[in-house]
Amino acid sequence: MKIEDRMAAKSINLNPIQRGGILTDDARRVLQEYGDGYAFCDYCLKGRMYLIDTPPLRTFHQIIAEWLEMDDVRFTLGNRHAQRIIFKVLSKRGKYVIIDANAHYTTYIAAELAGLRVKEVPHTGYPDFKTIEDMYEEKIKEVKRESGEMPIAVFATHVDSYYGNLIDAKRIAKISHDNDIPFILNCAYTMGIMPISRKSTDADFLLGSGHKSMASTAPIGVLATTSEWANKVFRESKIEGDWSGRAFPTKDLESVGCELVGTQLLTMMASFPTVKERVKKFDYEIENARYFVRKIERIGEDAMALGETPRKHTLIHFDIPDFYWATEKKRGRGFYVYKFLKKRNIFGVQPGKSKDIKVNTYGLKKSEIDYVIKVFYELAEELNIPIM
């Protein structure tokens, strides 16, 4: 896709991981200005990104912390590295972390990297796949019984990437805190999309993703926490050279000295006025998503949106078996759907997928949603699938 096309919004991108990351025009301009290697380091006087005043990166850290009602924040090389850092720091406290079974794959791998075992909280299975929040209590007890120690943390995925289900964060927070365990909430699909704050979640750690949901260029993640945890997680280096005595007490330990995501952060800053406003209009986005679901579920006999009903997020995982059966006979098979949509300037459905179709309607205009529905109906017609 050429820049002119993107700029003119001639094409529609439905990719669930991309809708919230599309840059604002301001962010695009900033990216050009600060694209060169280390350009954001021009006026770094203290050797750490979060202490740079020109451009005002330091102030922006405070702005995001306040926006989230948290005490301190750092920007990481993507949400996955925020997870890696927290798990690593907390891993001294024990061997298990409790996670929802809808957690992103990076949650499992971040735990693995920290030498932790995961204890999963089950979901309800097909077709809702709803995490059973009350089972967090049981799983804490299970860990205690099996290992003799408490889990290092309770982790929940605010909205998961597979079904777009919204978890009841406060309910899980209560269970965590009643057991004196810190609560980590992964808001990769919600921070920058819907209102998120400490008060609305009771989380000890709020994680976000700039390139997924805050109109920022990749890679950048958000790691926000409370004063209770900030000093433990945002530690400084203590190593000393045995011959030279060199030491780096002002450098950040877990980020290997400095986070390096200045260019990305500048795009986030440029987009933030837009992001701050757009989260307030989430109800409108939900209406659009539900409208889209109703229309797409009319394709053939069995089309349905997996996950909870009614939808509470714009990320939607459709199960459309008729597409699968009909395209199996077509040239390109699974790729038929991708190619059909691409010809009509709709992108983002995973190439090769014909049955499990994951999309995200976030930020689409009503007219664009109607256009996508029209094209999906045309595809159904082409495949001789009735609109019910």
Nearest distance, CB of residue 190 and a copy of itself, angstroms: 15
Per CB under 8 A, does 369 bind a copy of itself?
A: no
Pairing outcome for strands 304-305 and 221-225 = unpaired
Residue 7 makes CB contacts below 8 A (sequence gap 6+) with: 25, 28
Binder among 9, 10, 25, 41 for a copy of itself (CB under 8 A) = 41
φ, ψ for residue 121, nearest 5 deg: -90, 120
Give residues 338-367 in contact with a copy of itself (rule: CB under 8 A): 347-348, 350-352
Give residues 20-39 in contact with a copy of itself (rule: CB under 8 A): 20-23, 27-29, 31-33, 35-39
Give residues 137-166 in contact with a copy of itself (rule: CB under 8 A): none
Residue 213 makes CB contacts below 8 A (sequence gap 6+) with: 20, 21, 187, 188, 189, 190, 191, 192, 193
One-letter amino acid of 387: I
Per CB under 8 A, does 253 bind a copy of itself?
A: yes
Give residues 191-250 in contact with a copy of itself (rule: CB under 8 A): 210-212, 215-219, 237-239, 241-244, 246, 248
Distance separating alpha carbons of residues 372 and 209, to the nearest angstrom: 27
Nearest distance, CB of residue 235 and a copy of itself, angstroms: 10
Give residues 88-117 in contact with a copy of itself (rule: CB under 8 A): 101, 105-106, 108-113, 117
Nearest distance, CB of residue 72 and a copy of itself, angstroms: 20
Per CB under 8 A, does 127 bind a copy of itself?
A: no
119 in Cβ contact with 100 (< 8 Å): no
- Residue with Cβ nearer a copy of itself (113 or 369): 113
Q: Residue 118's beta-bridge partner residues?
A: 97
Query: Where are the extended beta strands (E) located within the chain?
Result: 12-13, 72-76, 96-100, 117-121, 153-157, 183-186, 205-209, 221-225, 304-305, 315-319, 346-347, 356-360
Nearest distance, CB of residue 306 and a copy of itself, angstroms: 15
Nearest distance, CB of residue 308 and a copy of itself, angstroms: 18
